[in-house]
Amino acid sequence: MAGPGDSERSDAIRNRALLLSAAKRLIDNHGAAAVTMDAVAREAGVGKGTVFRRFGGRAGLMMSLLDHSETEMQRSFLSGPPPLGPGAPAVERLVAYGRARLAMVCAHLDILIEADDASGPGRLAHPAHRVAVIHVQTLLADMGFGDAVPTVSLALLAPLEAASVHHLMVHEGLTVETIGDQWERLVDSLTPA
């Protein structure tokens, strides 16, 4: 039998999912600038106080959106099916990772651009970025890169960062598919024949 705390916990979980879904819809339809606490509350059909209690403010809401996507990405490359998950050769996993990372960055580009502006060089030390670096470094080590792994991993991740993707799309006129294809060619060029 569920106790009083259990129903509050399930309500909180339901509200969190409802609010994140509402925020995602606003971003998809109107961009990240449209995501205000009032707009999320209206979209979710809850009071504004519920949004503030759950996330503290707009920055907390945005970070929760990013955290959810990052958790899903990490789950996919750590235990999902190949080629992104274990079981495929390292180079295939690396290519699959790059394409998945690019898709995630594009899905949250507005939010990530705002987050990058606020975090500066500290973003490289952020736990989510560290997990990405460690994953790519592990794959590169499996591919035989030896002591070049740290530098090569950062070089491979740079085109997948929000600022780079934004630049490539807006200023260079590249499509997401073209960026993915060019990134895959970069990986292939580093791979011994």
Which CATH number do you get for residue 19?
1.10.10
Are 68 and 141 within one domain? yes
State which residues form the domain around 31.
1-56
Clarify whether residues 26 and 88 are in a common domain.
no
Joined together, the tokens standing for residue 108 give 């949250």
Give yes or no: residues 88 and 21 share one domain: no
Q: Can you list the residues of the chain whose pLDDT is less than 70?
A: 1-8, 114-123, 192-193
Q: Do both 109 and 182 map to the same domain?
A: yes
Q: Tell me the whole-structure pTM to 2 decimals.
A: 0.76
pLDDT of residue 2: 46
pLDDT digits (tens, 9 = 90+) for 146-161: 999 999 999 999 999 9
* pLDDT value of position 140: 96
Burial of 177 (0-12, 13-18, 19+ CB in 10 A): exposed
Peptide bond into 4 cis (omega under 30): no
